[in-house]
Amino acid sequence: MSYHDPVLLTECLEGLRIDPTGSYVDVTFGGGGHSKAILDQLTTGTLYAFDQDPDAKNNLPDHPNLVFIAANFRYIKNHLRLHGAKKVDGILADLGVSSHQFDEGSRGFSIRFDGPLDMRMNPAIGISVEEVLTTYEEQELYDLFRKHTDLKSLKPLVHALLLARVQAPLKTTAELRELCEPLAPRGGWHKYIAQVFQGLRMEVNKELEVLEDLLNGCIDVLTPGGRLVVMSYHSLEDRMVKNFIKEGKATGQTESDFFGVKRLPFKAITRKPVVATAEENAKNPRATSAKLRIAERSEHEWNRDE
């Protein structure tokens, strides 16, 4: 199996509307599938590729048009300026976890393979899931799962996690799965466990906060007419992207000045999210949950409300 099969590759490239002499950013290099396809279309242009995962460096092609930035894309504006790029013509974000990260049990992302309870995209930064489950107070655990999951009944889960802390602190993904099994609704075991893992992963990586910072950074980084192409894999992220494109803020609250002029930095190119075909879903199961949204940086971002 490859490191990570690029999802909606053709649609992403069409969305970026690549100029062979332009400057582009892939904020989630991963296995390099999208990046390599962008590089194939460049002549004198430049691709800036971000990835904080140390494993991603193993996939770097030897290409003169590629600038690799081993960092979180949260501070995209600062990192690009350090490399002499104030404006770019397109930004691609393939959010979530790569196939490689899910398949590598030692990273702790997978519910299929046993491994340490880590789940950090960059194992050298922040606290692990094990530390979260060891140190978070009861209310913090409730808040974590309310924010990052669609789980309805949280009391049994939180109480089980707190009890485990006293009896035998959880250290592996197998132990977490075993704890969750009797709590899952009948017939919904896999979805329940996946939600628990998702909530914990999103917490340690601060994924929603990082996404909001990225989107805000794109306002300053993209040249007028430049394209923003974002692929998300669950409703929380997709809602933020949709709100940002439509209202200028991930929270959905449009900024207006005293005269009622709204700040709308982007205009939607896709009114509804683009999804994978049945053929692609059959070849790459990860594509089934992907939602792709494309927007263009506005020439004039302040627009009077008629």
Each residue's pLDDT tens digit, 208-253: 999 999 999 999 999 999 999 999 999 999 999 999 999 999 988 7
Contact present, 55 and 100 (Cβ < 8 Å): yes
Residue 225 lies in a domain: yes
**Is the pLDDT score of 102 beyond 60?**
no
C-alpha distance from residue 43 to each of 66, 75, 151, 248 (Å): 11, 27, 48, 33
Q: Looking at residue 149, what DSSP letter applies?
A: -
| Same domain, residue pair 50 and 137 | no
| Same domain, residue pair 75 and 224 | yes
Residue where a domain terminates, one of 176, 205, 234: 205
Strand pairing partners for 186?
none
Domain enclosing residue 165, as ranges: 105-205
Contact present, 152 and 188 (Cβ < 8 Å): no
Say how far apart CA 239 and CA 67 lie, in whole Å: 31
Environment class of 183 (CB within 10 Å of its CB; exposed 0-12, middle 13-18, buried 19+): middle
Residue where a domain terminates, one of 184, 205, 226: 205
Q: What is the pLDDT of residues 53-101, one digit of tens each?
A: 888 899 899 999 999 999 999 999 999 999 999 999 999 999 977 655 5
Contact present, 201 and 132 (Cβ < 8 Å): no
Residue 285 lies in a domain: yes
Of residues 256 and 118, which shows the higher confidence score?
118
What single-letter amino acid sits at 186?
R
For residue 39, the SS3 value is helix
Residue 174 lies in a domain: yes
Q: What is the mean pLDDT of the chain?
A: 91
Residue 3 lies in a domain: no
| Same domain, residue pair 246 and 179 | no
Structure confidence at residue 103 (pLDDT): 55
Q: How confident is the model at residue 182 (pLDDT cuts 50, 70, 90)?
A: very high
| Same domain, residue pair 256 and 294 | yes
| Same domain, residue pair 112 and 160 | yes
Strand pairing partners for 47?
24, 66
CATH number for the domain spanning 14: value is 3.40.50.150
**Is the pLDDT score of 305 beyond 50?**
no
Of residues 34 and 304, which shows the higher confidence score?
34
| Same domain, residue pair 91 and 49 | yes
| Same domain, residue pair 245 and 298 | yes
| Same domain, residue pair 45 and 65 | yes
Q: How confident is the model at residue 110 (pLDDT cuts 50, 70, 90)?
A: confident
CATH number for the domain spanning 195: value is 1.10.150.170
Whether the pTM exceeds 0.85: the reply is: yes
Residue where a domain terminates, one of 170, 205, 240: 205
Q: How confident is the model at residue 261 (pLDDT cuts 50, 70, 90)?
A: confident
Residue with the two structure tokens 């263009």: 296
Residue 271 lies in a domain: yes
| Same domain, residue pair 32 and 68 | yes
| Same domain, residue pair 171 and 258 | no
Residue 1 lies in a domain: no
Nearest to 59 by CA among 39, 45, 42: 39
Q: Which of 113-117, 128-132, 252-256, 274-278 has the lowest mean pLDDT?
A: 252-256
| Same domain, residue pair 215 and 254 | yes
Mean pLDDT value of segment 115-134: 94
Q: How confident is the model at residue 285 (pLDDT cuts 50, 70, 90)?
A: confident
| Same domain, residue pair 138 and 150 | yes
Contact present, 90 and 297 (Cβ < 8 Å): no
- In which element (H, E) is residue 121 found? none
Structure confidence at residue 100 (pLDDT): 54
Q: What is the pLDDT of residues 9-30, one digit of tens each?
A: 999 999 999 999 999 999 999 9
Residue 23 lies in a domain: yes
Residue 256 lies in a domain: yes
In total, how many domains does the chain have?
Answer: 2
Tell which phi-psi region holds residue 227, choosing left (phi > 0), alpha (psi between -120 and 50) or beta.
beta
